[in-house]
Amino acid sequence: MGAGHAHVLYQEGASPVHRLPPEVKIVSMVVFTLAVVATPREAFWAFGGYAMLVAVVAGLARVGPGWLLSRSLIELPFVLFAVALPFLGAGERVDVLGVSLSSDGLLGAWNIVAKGTLGVLASLLLAATTTTRDLIVGLDRLRCPQILTQIATFMLRYLDVLVGEARRMRVARVSRGDDPRFLWQLRGFAAGVGALFLRAFERGERVYLAMLSRGYAGRMPAVWQGAGAATAGQWLVAATVPALAATIAAAAVVLT
């Protein structure tokens, strides 16, 4: 279970951010995101401060702006929803380039786009500097419920196996004349999904019995976490960004 698994967002590197233990990066990202969410939407200057913090961390991690912007397109559906708010919102109206827009809707759209973008960028920086396995190890060190970390561990370990199994089943269907592009082949596709589920269930039973025979008692062994738990100094270094974000949020609440 100690096999390393990278993911498509992880960028190999030796930057100071990469070297930080995963638990401190997880806590820092969560606290930063909470500070952003707690900031009043009218405090425009505060969001500029948050963007500067993200830019500094990205520079330290050697993660390029192009990479961040291209991956942040995942929030596009929320941006499209936000664009509609000024047109659909009620209350006081303002004219922008001859178009009547809701002032409350404009603030709501800004709130969604600004906070959503900052949250996505923070998550991308965490994913770019931390492998999937280290993320799970970090959650385990933070006393996340064992059942959740174990489910995530096994999913990570056997996801490639299931994807390969599904690919082989699809090739077998196509070689026998099945064409999944047409709706009348949906029945065959559904049968394939059911067969894949049964195979995954049976494989899981075999793996579980094999683990029991090797002394598994409901918890992952301590050696799985490995060495390198965060020191007090690393916690202090990682606390810089969330502390600054919390200070900005507190000032924005007081001044707004």
Q: Measure Cα distances from 50 to 35, 39, 42, 47, 69 in Å.
A: 9, 10, 14, 5, 16
Q: What is the pLDDT of residues 43-76, one digit of tens each?
A: 999 999 999 999 999 999 999 999 998 888 888 8
Residues spanned by the domain of 193: 146-224
Do 20 and 92 belong to one domain?
yes
109 assigned to some structural domain: yes
Q: What's the domain count of the chain?
A: 2
106 assigned to some structural domain: yes
Do 118 and 30 belong to one domain?
yes
Mean pLDDT check: name the lowest of 21-35, 88-102, 198-212, 236-250.
88-102
Q: Sorting pLDDT into bands at 50, 70 and 90, what band is 165?
A: confident
Q: ∠ at Cα 67 (65, 72), nearest 5°?
A: 95
Do 126 and 220 belong to one domain?
no
11 assigned to some structural domain: no
Do 45 and 61 belong to one domain?
yes
Query: What is the rounded average pLDDT of the residues 236-242?
Result: 91
Do 106 and 219 belong to one domain?
no
d(CA 30, CA 35): 9
The pLDDT > 70 percentage for the chain reads 87
Do 164 and 98 belong to one domain?
no
Q: Sorting pLDDT into bands at 50, 70 and 90, what band is 220?
A: low
Q: What is the pLDDT of residues 109-136, one digit of tens each?
A: 888 899 999 999 999 999 999 988 888 8
Would you state the pLDDT for residue 2? 43
Do 57 and 158 belong to one domain?
no
Do 20 and 111 belong to one domain?
yes
Q: Sorting pLDDT into bands at 50, 70 and 90, what band is 184?
A: low
Res. 178: pLDDT tops 80: no
235 assigned to some structural domain: yes
Query: What is the rounded average pLDDT of the residues 187-215?
Result: 82
Q: Sorting pLDDT into bands at 50, 70 and 90, what band is 3?
A: very low
8 assigned to some structural domain: no
Do 202 and 130 belong to one domain?
no
Would you state the pLDDT for residue 91? 66
Question: Residue 197: phi, psi to the nearest 5?
Answer: -65, -45
3 assigned to some structural domain: no
Contact criterion met (CB below 8 Å) for 110 and 102: no
Mean pLDDT check: name the lowest of 14-28, 80-94, 107-121, 218-232.
218-232
Q: Sorting pLDDT into bands at 50, 70 and 90, what band is 231?
A: confident
234 assigned to some structural domain: yes
Would you state the pLDDT for residue 4? 45
Q: What is the mean pLDDT of the chain?
A: 83
Q: Sorting pLDDT into bands at 50, 70 and 90, what band is 181?
A: low
Do 235 and 111 belong to one domain?
yes
Do 159 and 213 belong to one domain?
yes
Do 79 and 99 belong to one domain?
yes
Would you state the pLDDT for residue 203? 83
Res. 13: pLDDT tops 50: yes
Tokens 């991690």 correspond to 61
Mean pLDDT check: name the lowest of 40-44, 115-119, 227-231.
227-231
Query: What is the rounded average pLDDT of the residues 13-20?
Result: 89
User: 3-class SS at 68?
Assistant: helix
6 assigned to some structural domain: no
Would you state the pLDDT for residue 76? 82
